[in-house]
Structure 1
Amino acid sequence: MSILPRTFAAAAFTTGVTLWLSQVGEARAEPVPDAIRAMIVAAARSDDPTVFAAVIAVAKQAAPSSAEEIEALSREVPKDVAAIVRAEAGDLTTAPDIILVAPLPSKRSPWKGAAELGGSRATGDTDTLGVYGSLGLTRTGPTWTHRINGRFDYQDTNGVRSVERYGAGYEPQVRLNERLYSFGVAQYEHDRFLGYQDRVTVGVGFGVNPVDRPDFKLSLDAGPAFRRTDYIAQNRQSTIAGRGSLNARWLPSERITVSQDGAVYLETGQTTAKSTTAVETLLFGPLKARFSYNLQFERDRRLSRENLNTTTRASLLYSF
């Protein structure tokens, strides 16, 4: 065989192997999923290097076959986001020539919410299992605000149920002016260890926002309420009560939120009070750690009964 055919055959073989390897590489390299692209863009827009680095690390673990593409996005997306932010501020000369790989949606859902989940487990002399969860949704408009919430709290100690508490509520508000608002409230509660099987409360009233700053908000409201309670050891009772509540939010920094929510009901011969003090700290993205102290007080002079329950929790909070 002459040198020329052998050279031609070797070149053809080398070209074929190269094409095959490139096809294999392309098959292995998968595009970045849209959800991960959007997460990277949102992290870049937060302008927090720590959060952005954490999101990139998680994205590479979630899509290892797209690690190279994710690394490329980690270099390009912050530049495009910075240019778009400047363009939104009026500097159109810095607008990027290309569209972001995952542009932020122009229309967002009017509902915002947070889901909380926590639990505890202890073994040894005492075998305890506890689970807690809550879900809150808020829709804010120019005039109306709607809040929906639900929660459950369960604990088993040495095979015996020791906590069984759950409930749900709905509270609409209508803004009257910059400070004043009117509200309605409807809620359902169950807590057999506080002595009632079911409790339904409906009420109306007026409230005021004496402080409404970006870093601190305070609201106070009051009004009458109607309560119907199905007691475990007594007959059903319906009463008229006076209701008052206080809600406060303080942001000492961009990553920390301190909140205080409390409500009290005054009935003839009976008092109910609830309070939740919480500290939330941002971990990364929408995930937060939450530490809370919950207090619930029930006093019934007719039965000479007084109950005070307190709970300290550490849980995870996912905001959306």
Structure 2
Amino acid sequence: MTYRAAILTGGLALISLGATGSAFAESGTSTSSSTATTNGTSSTQTAATGTSTSDATATSAAKPVKVKKPAKPAKPEPPLKIDAELGMILNTGNTNNASAKGAITINQELARWRNEFNLDAYYSRDRTDGDDGDHVYNTTGQRLFLSGQGNYLLHPTGNVDQRRTSAFLYSSYEQDRFSGYDYQGTVAGGYTRRWISTEDQTLDLSAGPGFGFNEKDDGASAGFALVRASLNYKYKLSPTAQFSQNLSTDWALDSSENSRVHSETALKVNIYSALALKTAFTVDYNSEVDPGIKKTDTQSSVTLVYTFK
């Protein structure tokens, strides 16, 4: 009995040990499965997160960046362009007067030269009726202005953008019956640069030394050194409208001599084909005038302009 009991006791111990091992094995399998499942899910989440981050980065990188387009360069000017301008005002009735304004501007664009010539004329008169019924005419305004400027291009080859710098020669002659001067003139030379040259606008600046001369109504004449500077700006507001500003000065180095300033602000609107309507405001200034004569003259005008190309 003792031997059988010992065998039975040993068998139960082995069974108990086997059961314990199985339990530990199942526990290990469950733990491993749980760990694997957890790690797999974590890996999947990490992969998904990585994919989402990559997609977000790619989407962010794919957004287009707005870049400001540079202004279009100016188109080549025609070899010859002529603007003929004419305006007239007639008053009758209680007031009888007439005034006329005309101008011709010629622009040349050659291989080595960019030239501009101007002729500007103005005339006005009043009519009064005498006691005997005769008409008496009095001239109230009379002005003639001629000018020419030749710009010798320093870099004539290449595109329009390279034709910016030039050496200029300028001359002008003016007769204004009511300015106190019989005539005035300027001869000058210097440097010109086209600072802006795009499809819509141009800006030319010129400066250089010169010589001025004049003669007053009393016969006194003078010649003197001066500095000439000018600005010529054009801006195309639309395909049919253009704004322009011309400003120039012939400034005497001797303060006792006459210095002149001229300004014209204008707006030109095409009516039909080559015909345009121009409105302008002009200012002329003389620093030295006789007593009773104003230093500044202004003029507002509306004229028709026909362009020949």
Structure 1 residue runs without a partner (length 5+): 1-108
Q: Decide whether the 8 Å contact of 2:179 with 2:293 is kept in 1.
A: no
Match of 2:148 in 1: 170
Q: Deviations over 1:22-46 (max 9, x none)?
A: xxxxxxxxxxxxxxxxxxxxxxxxx
Query: Is residue 221 from structure 1 mapped to residue 221 from structure 2 by the alignment?
Result: no
TM-score (norm 1): 0.63
AA in 1 matched with 2:145: G
Is 1:142 aligned with 2:111? yes
- TM-score, structure 2 length as denominator? 0.65
| 1:232-275 superposed Cα distances (whole Å, 9 cap, x missing partner) | 02411111111111100000100000000111111123321000
Is the 8 Å Cα contact of residues 180 and 290 (structure 2) preserved in structure 1? no
> What SS is found at the alignment partner of 2:259?
strand
Q: Is structure 2 residue 224 aligned with structure 1 residue 239?
A: yes
2:279 aligned partner: 291
* Matched position secondary structure for 1:194: coil
Q: Identity of paired residues, percent?
A: 23
1:257 equivalent to 2:251? Answer no
Q: Report the counterpart of residue 91 of structure 2 in structure 1.
A: 122
Matched, 1:187 2:165: no
Look up the match of 1:48: none
The structure, 1 or 2, with the larger RCO (C-alpha pairs under 8 Å, 6+ apart) is: 2
Distance 2:91 2:289 in 1: 36
Query: Which residue of the partner structure matches residue 159 of structure 2?
Result: none
Q: Equivalent residue for 2:305?
A: 317
Quote the Cα distance in structure 2 between the aligned partners of 1:302 and 1:160. Answer: 22
Q: Which moved more, 1:251-260 or 1:144-153?
A: 144-153
Alignment check: 8 A CA contact 2:289 2:295 kept:
no
CA distance, structure 2, for counterparts of residue 221 and residue 116 of structure 1: 25
Runs of 4+ deviating beyond 3 Å: 301-306
> Secondary structure of the equivalent of 2:211?
strand
Going from structure 1 to structure 2, the CA distance change for 1:229 and 1:128 (only over 3 Å counts) comes to same
Q: Match for 1:300 among 283, 288, 294? A: 288
Give the drift of 1:301: 7.5
Residue number in structure 2 paired with 1:100: none
Gaps of 5+ in 2: 1-77, 128-136, 156-161
RMSD value, Cα? 2.0
Measure how far apart 1:302 and its partner are.
8.8
Alignment-mate amino acid for residue 167 of structure 1: F
Amino acid at match of 1:162: T
Deviation at 1:113, TM superposition (A): 0.6
- Counterpart position of 2:264: 276
Q: Determine the structure 2 residue equivalent to 1:155.
A: 124
CA contact (8 A) 1:260 1:275 kept: yes
